Amino acid sequence: MLLRSVFTKTVRDLRWPTFWTALALFVGGGYFTLLYPTYATQFKLTELLDQLPAAMKALIGAQVADVSTATGFLNIELFPMILPAVLAGFAIALGSGATAGEESRGTIDVLLSYPVPRWLVVTQKAAAIVLSVVVVAAGLWVGAVLGAAASNSPLDSGRVAEALVMAALLALDFGSIALLLASGTGNRGLGIGVSVALLVVMYFVNALAPVISGLDSVKQASLFFWYLESNPIRHGISIGDSLVLAAVAIALFLASLVAFERRDLAA
């Protein structure tokens, strides 16, 4: 029974959104690896990319990808933009709803009249969110591996997993921003709005840094920089960069505990 604790209850609350998002990424991952041979032969991907202007290549992340394998194809199709957008958007939706959802629905009064510390409520909800993000990321991995197997495409499943870890950490950063803002104010819309705005701005700052000279000096402020800098799907996970992403998520999470602890909760 999933009604033992705030953690299990939250897992239960998130089961359908998690399932559907995981399914979407499963289909997405499977689509690109399944159809990779077709793309590779019909569209002559390597030559196609070579013809693109530098700015365009930067935007889609093509300057770091090698499309001669399905792994590289995934790297260019999903990992620079679509995957982080979906994963981060998912984490933002969950993070902003963690406690602010209970506040706006009015259930927080009942919940916090039971002997559970506020920090533990936030922690259990955050743990359930981490689990959901992992499941959704795993959906893409399973889809990609099955698609590659079916189409007999070359795919480095270990590297894909490593890149997914980085993407999940990036998503949790944005989820934590949403968590901090929403649990610190009780305003879910504020949490979503600011996090999505930061997601978009940080994406463009990093993507355009190679071609716009002014951005190069500030690109380290973008979380996308730490996510993509080491090109994880090609070279494997970077311990240093993953630690930066993890540290940001943990710091924001701890700040959420403090912010939520001190607040007057909405009636």
Partner 1 sequence: MLAIRTEQLTKYYGKARGILDVDLEVRTGEIFGFLGPNGAGKSTTIRLLLDLIRPTSGHAEVLGLDAHRDRLAIDRRVAYLPGDLSLYGDLTGAQTLHYLGNLRGGVDTTYRDELVRRLELDPSSRIRSMSRGNRQKVGLVAAFQGRPELLVLDEPTSGLDPFVQLEFERLADEARREGRTSFISSHMLPEVEHLCDRVGIIREGRLLAVESIATLKERALRRLEIEFASPVPPDAFRDVPGVRDLRVDDARLSCTVMGSLDALVKAAAGFEVRGIRTQDTSLEEIFLAYYGAGPEAPHAAA
User: Looking at 46-54, 198-206, 241-249, 259-267, which segment touches partner 1 (CB under 8 A)?
Assistant: 259-267
Closest listed residue to residue 176, CA positions, set 102, 126, 108: 126
Candidate residues 46, 68, 107, 152; the one interacting with partner 1 per rule CB under 8 A: 107
Instruction: Write out the DSSP string of the chain.
Output: ---SSHHHHHHHHTHHHHHHHHHHHHHHHHHHHHSHHHHHHHS-HHHHHHTS-HHHHHHHTGGG--TTSHHHHHHHHTTTTHHHHHHHHHHHHHHHHTTHHHHHHTTHHHHTTSS--HHHHHHHHHHHHHHHHHHHHHHHHHHHHHHHHHHT----HHHHHHHHHHHHHHHHHHHHHHHHHHHHHS-HHHHHHHHHHHHHHHHHHHHHTTT-HHHHTTGGGSHHHHHHTT-HHHH---HHHHHHHHHHHHHHHHHHHHHHHHSPPP-
243, two tokens: 């630690």
User: Looking at 1-9, 67-75, 82-90, 224-232, which segment touches partner 1 (CB under 8 A)?
Assistant: 1-9
239 binds partner 1 (CB under 8 A): no
5 binds partner 1 (CB under 8 A): yes
50 binds partner 1 (CB under 8 A): no
68, two tokens: 């001669």
116 binds partner 1 (CB under 8 A): yes
- To the nearest whole angstrom, how small is the minimum distance from the Cβ of residue 143 to partner 1? 29
- To the nearest whole angstrom, how small is the minimum distance from the Cβ of residue 132 to partner 1? 17
The nearer residue to partner 1, 116 or 197, going by C-beta atoms, is 116
- To the nearest whole angstrom, how small is the minimum distance from the Cβ of residue 187 to partner 1? 16
Closest listed residue to residue 145, CA positions, set 132, 133, 156, 134: 156
User: Looking at 22-30, 115-123, 241-249, 252-260, which segment touches partner 1 (CB under 8 A)?
Assistant: 115-123
User: Looking at 2-10, 58-66, 170-178, 209-217, which segment touches partner 1 (CB under 8 A)?
Assistant: 2-10
The nearer residue to partner 1, 3 or 239, going by C-beta atoms, is 3
- To the nearest whole angstrom, how small is the minimum distance from the Cβ of residue 35 to partner 1? 38
127 binds partner 1 (CB under 8 A): no
The nearer residue to partner 1, 41 or 105, going by C-beta atoms, is 105
Candidate residues 42, 47, 51, 114; the one interacting with partner 1 per rule CB under 8 A: 114
Number of residues that bind partner 1 (CB under 8 A): 23
Binding site for partner 1 (CB under 8 A): 1, 3-6, 9, 13, 105-117, 264-265, 267
